């Protein structure tokens, strides 16, 4: 199905793909893929696929004999994803109401999406419904922000130089740091063999200023916070003092990120 997105939505999707994905998200698909064991011919659903970094990695495993679908509620994300890999089934929708038949997928994966769901229990029930008996699930979720201190520093920069609301917006992705909550949702939905593994990966931004710029241009607008060019330049300049500790000799900003991967099975 062709994804219709406005020019503004498509630009936002391309921005996410160009800035956030290589810097932060690209190292993670290997963990989810190995956790569920995607094989040639597997049927895979990637929920909250964004621009498809994990979906593409899944397709590389299934090959053309598999079925790979990526679902997201943001048309701009899907339109940008479809520009890169048109052969994947990109589907507009939410995790809480998956527009797929029951028992359709061998593997259901979701990378850094669950913290944004309105109703996580309903989403877990939907994941269970669309998985085949014996099917596998893997979810990646950021640990709490105190385990991701570079983001604590970004929050501090925004609180000091933008607003408390701006700082708060950057904490949202780290709001599901307690893996016990996720385990309970999955268990209540019917999943078994639930296990949790902690992983660290390296984030690499082109500079410390880019760490902040992606938030100002790519994240805060989603919360209705729009800054003018003069204010953006001012915040970036002021961020140097706090973020210079992440600057490598190459000029890049390099730091550790920490997340957990939850794996589960639908009883067969």
Query: Is 211 one of the binding residues for ligand SAM (CB under 6 A)?
Result: no
CB of 66 to ligand SAM, least distance (A): 19
Touching ligand SAM, residues 4-43 (CB under 6 A): 21, 25
Q: What angle do CA 160, 164, 168 make, to 5 degrees?
A: 115
Question: How far is it, in rounded angstroms, from Cα 52 to Cα 63?
Answer: 16
Question: How far is it, in rounded angstroms, from Cα 114 to Cα 232?
Answer: 30
CB of 110 to ligand SAM, least distance (A): 7
Q: Which is nearer to ligand SAM, 72 or 213 (CB)?
A: 72
Query: Is 72 one of the binding residues for ligand SAM (CB under 6 A)?
Result: yes
Q: Are 225 and 165 in contact (CB under 8 A)?
A: yes
- Contact window for ligand SAM (CB under 6 A) among 71-79, 141-149, 229-237, 239-247: 71-79
DSSP state of 241: H
Nearest to 235 by CA among 206, 220, 213: 213
Q: Which is nearer to ligand SAM, 161 or 174 (CB)?
A: 174
- Contact window for ligand SAM (CB under 6 A) among 91-99, 155-163, 199-207, 223-231: 91-99
Q: Which is nearer to ligand SAM, 161 or 259 (CB)?
A: 259
Question: How far is it, in rounded angstroms, from Cα 214 to Cα 15?
Answer: 9
CB of 238 to ligand SAM, least distance (A): 26
Task: Give the CA dihedral 109, 17, 50, 183, nearest 10 degrees.
Answer: 50
Name the helix (H) or strand (E) containing 201. Answer: strand 192-205
- Contact window for ligand SAM (CB under 6 A) among 67-75, 81-89, 163-171, 251-259: 67-75
List the x/- string, 99-118, binding to ligand SAM by CB under 6 A. Answer: ------------xxx--xxx
Query: Is 121 one of the binding residues for ligand SAM (CB under 6 A)?
Result: no
Count of beta carbons in the 10 Å neighbourhood of residue 1: 9
- Contact window for ligand SAM (CB under 6 A) among 94-102, 160-168, 231-239, 256-264: 94-102
Kindly determine how many residues on this chain lie close enough to bind ligand SAM according to the rule CB under 6 A. 21
| β-bridge mates for residue 94, sequence order | 97
CB of 21 to ligand SAM, least distance (A): 6
Q: Is 132 exposed, middle or buried (0-12, 13-18, 19+ CB in 10 A)?
A: middle
Q: Which is nearer to ligand SAM, 51 or 208 (CB)?
A: 51
Question: How far is it, in rounded angstroms, from Cα 65 to Cα 75?
Answer: 27
Q: What are phi and psi of 264, to 5 degrees?
A: -150, 165
Query: Is 54 one of the binding residues for ligand SAM (CB under 6 A)?
Result: yes
Question: How far is it, in rounded angstroms, from Cα 192 to Cα 39?
Answer: 21
Q: Give the footprint of ligand SAM on this chain (CB under 6 A).
A: 21, 25, 47-50, 53-54, 72-74, 77, 94-96, 111-113, 116-118
């Amino acid at each position: 199905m062709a994804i219709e997105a406005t020019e503004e939505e498509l630009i936002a999707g391309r921005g996410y793909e160009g800035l956030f994905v290589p810097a932060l998200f690209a190292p993670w698909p290997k963990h989810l893929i190995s956790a569920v064991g995607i094989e040639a011919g597997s049927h895979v659903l990637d929920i909250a696929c964004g621009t498809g970094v994990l979906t593409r990695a899944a397709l590389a495993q299934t090959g053309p004999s598999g079925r790979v679908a990526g679902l997201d509620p943001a048309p701009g994300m899907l339109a940008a994803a479809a520009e890169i890999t048109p052969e994947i089934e990109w589907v507009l929708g939410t995790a809480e109401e998956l527009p797929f038949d029951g028992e359709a997928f061998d593997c259901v994966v979701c990378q850094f999406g669950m913290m944004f769901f309105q109703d996580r229990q309903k989403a877990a029930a939907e994941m269970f419904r669309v998985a085949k008996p014996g099917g596998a699930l893997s979810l990646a979720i950021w640990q709490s922000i105190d385990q991701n201190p570079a983001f604590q520093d970004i929050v501090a920069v925004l609180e000091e130089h933008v607003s408390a609301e701006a700082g708060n917006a950057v904490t949202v992705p780290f709001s599901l740091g307690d893996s016990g909550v996720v385990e309970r949702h999955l268990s209540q939905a019917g999943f078994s063999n639930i296990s949790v593994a902690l992983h660290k990966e390296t984030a690499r931004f082109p500079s410390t200023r880019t760490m902040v710029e992606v938030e100002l241009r790519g994240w805060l607008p989603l919360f209705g916070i729009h800054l003018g060019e003069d204010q953006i330049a001012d915040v970036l300049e002021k961020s140097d003092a706090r973020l210079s500790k992440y600057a490598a000799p190459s000029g890049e900003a390099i730091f550790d990120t920490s997340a957990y991967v939850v794996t589960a099975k639908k009883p067969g």
